[in-house]
Amino acid sequence: MLKNKRILLIVSGGIAAVKVPDLIRRLSERGAHVRCILTESGAQFVTPMSLAALSGDKVFQNLFSLTDEREMGHIRLSREADVVLVAPATANIMAKMAHGLTDDLATTALLATNKPVMIAPSMNVMMWNNPATRSNVATLQKRDVHVVGPGAGDLACGEVGDGRMAEVADIVAALEAFFETRKKSGPLSGYRALVTSGPTIEPIDPVRYIANRSSGKQGHAIATALSDLGAEVSLISGPTKETDPERLYVTRIETAEQMLKACQNALPVDIAVCAAAVADWRIADAASQKLKKDDGGAPSLALIENPDILATLSAGVDNRPALVIGFAAETEDVIAQATAKRERKGCDWIVANDVSNGFGGDKNTVHLVTTAGVESWPTMQKREVAARLATQIADHMRQQK
């Protein structure tokens, strides 16, 4: 459940911060990416160096650090996460959260985030039971902040009672349960989706092929985003360096013809997103033996057209998905070309992007072309494009009900 999940871990200043290295280890073992913000008082208990070494990422500490703001920016830091976890959460940081105070990087990121927040409180029993803390916890819970722990037992201050930060295993379990629940109750639960991703490769002979530069990053991110909203996703992918996302049915293929067959096997689905860069042509008669240089000069390669998967799915009579989405990677007149492509292919939406600077980066600038018109989105990480597209798909499916 935690594989590839991005956790922004805010470490505030309690003695339980000494358990954070173990927490990062356990989360990383499960495939999560942890990025830390360490408060000034948190740094009294655990060093930025140990958090950086264990998380494999920079540790962010200062709201007014020019370098940090240039590299990342506190808004981006708070947005580029699937969940924000505050562990340990002191009485002080909880009070600031409840009242919307922002006097350091941690509290600013917490106020700026649009992501779910979980806190693992840790403090003295009297502080925990103080009406001020009780009221702050109630306020936070009313705002859907998830609270894990605290447990009862010996406290570092020598007193006994409630206030011990939840055990590392319990925090990990709470995060897993959070993602599990979100998936089950997601707006796309009960829907089936098919996503194509990556390039196709078309053989010339057993060792050579025609390919393209598609990285599969956008298609894989869309498949993951749909699954995160609860859809049951079949991902049909050409050869890419992207790893197979967990919880998805992944079929790896090489050629366009194989991709079409795999898509047809995945039907019926409610939603189809064709993000693959399918080769338009294949070699008419690929050689069964390796072509030799001394076989009489350079071979001439006759090409024939590949099946158009997007158009085929869109034209389906009995089993057309309710929503078919294609991509248009263009180098000029992006919107005009995409609008024409939507008509030509018979799909419902087109996600158009300008690839004049090439394929394969982590960011994408897209325009969404639908019957209602064209929406131009700002440049975003491909994961964010995927999340926004998945949300729009979910809204559309709800309206069609």
CA gap 195, 299 in Å, rounded: 36
Query: Nearest Cα to 310, choosing from 329, 294, 324, 289?
Result: 324
Q: What is the C-alpha to C-alpha distance for residues 120 and 163, in angstroms, rounded to an integer?
A: 10
In the complex, the smallest distance separating the C-beta of residue 210 from ligand C5P, rounded to whole angstroms, is: 13
| Catalytic entry in 36, 157, 274, 347 | 157
Residues making contact with ligand C5P (CB under 6 A): 196, 256, 274, 276, 278, 280, 306, 308-310, 326-328
Query: Nearer to ligand C5P by C-beta: 7 or 274?
Result: 274
Judge whether 36 counts as a catalytic residue.
no
> Residues 88, 14: contact at Cβ < 8 Å?
yes
Which residues, at least 6 apart from 259, have a Cβ–Cβ distance to it below 8 Å?
A: 196, 200, 236, 238, 253, 276, 278, 309
Q: What secondary structure does DSSP assign to 47-95, as a single string?
A: -HHHHHHHHTSPEE--TT-HHHHHHT-HHHHHHS-SEEEEEEE-HHHHH
Smallest gap from residue 152 Cβ to ligand C5P (A): 56
- d(CA 135, CA 348) in angstroms, rounded, equals 50
Nearest-approach distance from CB 222 to ligand C5P, in angstroms: 11
Are residues 94 and 140 in contact, defined by beta-carbon separation less than 8 angstroms? yes
Query: Which CB sits closer to ligand C5P, 281 or 377?
Result: 281
Q: Which DSSP symbol is given to 230?
A: T
The Cα–Cα gap between 321 and 360 comes to 28
- Select 116 or 307, whichever has its Cβ closest to ligand C5P: 307
Q: How far is the CB of 200 from ligand C5P (least distance, A)?
A: 8
Please, what is the minimum distance in Å from the beta carbon of residue 400 to ligand C5P? 21
* Positions marked active-site: 157
